[in-house]
Each structure stands twice: as structure tokens, then as C-alpha cells.
Amino acid sequence: MKDQADVKSVDTLALVKAALAAFAHETGQALGEVEVQAQRAIDWITVDQAAYWKSEVRRRGEAVTKAFQDLEHCRAYKKVGDNQPSCIEEKKALQRAKQRLEQAEAKAEAVRRWTPLVQQQFRETSVRFTRFREVLDSDCPKALGELERMLRALDAYRDMASPAEAAARSAQEQSVARQAPTAPAAGPAPGAAP
């Protein structure tokens, strides 16, 4: 009996195989979605935000120029005699325009500064994605093949008779062969008188 395997459930191995196949499929899809989303994020930072803040710097620079012109216009044309006009509203508008321009310039600079770092991190992550995809594309099918081979071997083992069962079956076949009916011997016919 030491030569026999103690296999409790082949179904568990089949469930592991199915779970591995599902894992490989779902992980491959999720990995693809992550790659697409990561590329969108990189494009948003490096392309969309760069263009947006560049145009904002230009637009807000024009707003500063206009606010400065409005202030100069106020100083030149609202002068009554020797009284210098305060032009408080124009000064506040110019100050707000300068602050907005500084904010846009800071954002544009942040995008310029972070773009190479973000791209480098994305390249490094892409390498990891590629390695993981290789595992999914090569190692998972190998593992599935190995599990299938194990299942077939266990099925063949299960179908194979154990030595005790083979001996019992052989003895039973021999006893059935001995008990087989034989042809009657020649003798008086039934119902004949001796």
C-alpha cells in the first residue's frame, strides 16, 4: 500500500487550473486598462496641461498689458487740473492680473519641471508592465499545461487498478471460469428405465 498515492480530490486541481486561467485572462485585461489610463495621464500632463498653461501665460500676459494700459489711461485722462486721480480700481485690476499671470507662469514651470520626471517614471513602470505581461503570456500557459498534464496523469492513475484490485479481479475471473457449465456426460436419457 505504500506505492499508492493518497489523492483526495482531483477536482481541486481542476479548480486551481480554472482559477489560474481566469487570473491570467482578467489580469491581462486589467493590465491593458492600466497602461491605457497611465498613457492618458501622461498625455494630459505633458501635452494638454503644457499647452493649456502656455496659452494661459500668453492670455494673462495680455490681460496685464491691458490692465496697465487702463491704469495709464486713467492717470492721463482723469487728471483734473493739478490733481492726480487715484485710479484705485485700475490699480487693483492690474494687481489681480499680475497675480494671475504669476500663477500661470508657476503652473507652466511646474509642468516643464515635472514632465521629464513623469515620463521617466512611466517608462520604468512600462518596463515592469512588460515583464508582468511576459509572465502572463508565457509562464501562465506553461503552468496551465503542467496542471493539465498532472490532471491527465491523475485520471490515468485513478482509472488504473491497484495491485490488490487486480489480484481480486483475476481470482474472480478464474473462479467464474471454473464454474462454467460443461457438456452433460453420455448416460441414460432422463425418464429411461435402468
CA neighbor of 5 nearest in space, from 139, 158, 178, 143:
158
The share of the chain scoring above pLDDT 70, in percent, equals 75
Residue 168 has pLDDT above 90, yes or no: no
Q: Which one-letter DSSP state was computed for residue 4?
A: S
When pLDDT is cut at 50, 70 and 90, the band that residue 20 belongs to is very high
- Please check whether residue 133 is in contact with residue 28, taking contact to mean a CB–CB distance below 8 angstroms: yes
Burial of 154: CB neighbours in 10 Å, binned 0-12, 13-18, 19+: middle
Q: Which of 38, 13, 61 minimizes the C-alpha distance to 121?
A: 38
Reported as a pLDDT band with limits 50, 70 and 90, residue 174 is: low
Contact by Cβ (8 Å): 62, 36: no
pLDDT score of 194 more than 50: no
pLDDT digits (tens, 9 = 90+) for 113-149: 999 999 999 999 999 999 999 988 999 999 999 999 9
Q: Lowest-confidence range among 27-36, 116-125, 179-188?
A: 179-188
Separation CA 46–CA 119 (nearest Å): 8
Average pLDDT, the chain: 83
Domain layout of the chain by residue ranges: 10-175
